[in-house]
Amino acid sequence: MDDINALRRILREAKVIAVVGLSADWFRPSYFAAKYMQEHGYRVIPVNPKYPKILGEKCYPSLRDIPQAVDIVDVFRKTADVMPIAQEAIKIGAKVLWQQLGVRNEEAAARARAAGLEAVMDRCVKIEHGRLFGGLNWVGVNTGVISAKRPRWLAY
């Protein structure tokens, strides 16, 4: 999906995002994206069987184990792993199957659309939210996280 108005509508209407493949490591893109969305008012539900809790939220081993409705299923997995996730997203009644940057499973997206879900591929929820709703500082601009200055504490 490349329609800016549709992306804006999806992100405005969604309240609950299940992040499949969310890592508990703060330096991983999935963690940074989920933290950003959490800080911007979304309920983030981690889906990863490795962890009991991430970002203060109970972690579930699969989408079918989540006891509440989910708006967006955000996929941080390899393209080859998306089809079973899409099938679970359909079964739980999710509204959107969102495949992150670098993830583009056309067959899974087509199946999701046929079941009435919207499908987004090869886009990051954090980047799109920042671009469409003005959160660009979280993308790396003016945060002090990314800087051309050499830190004083490094021994060079």
CA atoms within 13 A on the CB side of 66: 27
State which amino acid sits at residue 45. Answer: I
> Which tens digits make up the pLDDT trace of 9-68?
999 999 999 999 999 999 999 999 999 999 999 999 999 999 999 999 999 999 999 999
Q: What is the pTM of this model?
A: 0.85
DSSP letters along 39-79, please? HTTPEEEEE-TT-SEETTEE-BSSGGG--S--SEEEE-S-G
pLDDT at 134: 77
Show contacts of 101-106: CB within 8 Å, 24+ apart.
101/29, 101/127, 103/75, 103/76, 103/77, 103/78, 103/79, 104/79, 105/79, 105/80
Which pLDDT value is given to residue 140?
52
For the chain, what's the residue count? 156
pLDDT digits (tens, 9 = 90+) for 83-100: 999 999 999 999 999 999
Exposed/middle/buried for residue 28 (C-beta within 10 Å: 0-12, 13-18, 19+):
middle
- pLDDT, tens only, 111-131: 999 999 999 999 999 999 988
On whether the CB atoms of residues 21 and 73 are closer than 8 A, the answer is no
| Predicted confidence band of residue 152 (pLDDT cuts 50, 70, 90) | low
Instruction: Output the pLDDT for position 144.
Output: 47
Alpha helices (H) in the chain, listed in sequence order: 4-13, 29-39, 82-92, 106-114, 125-133
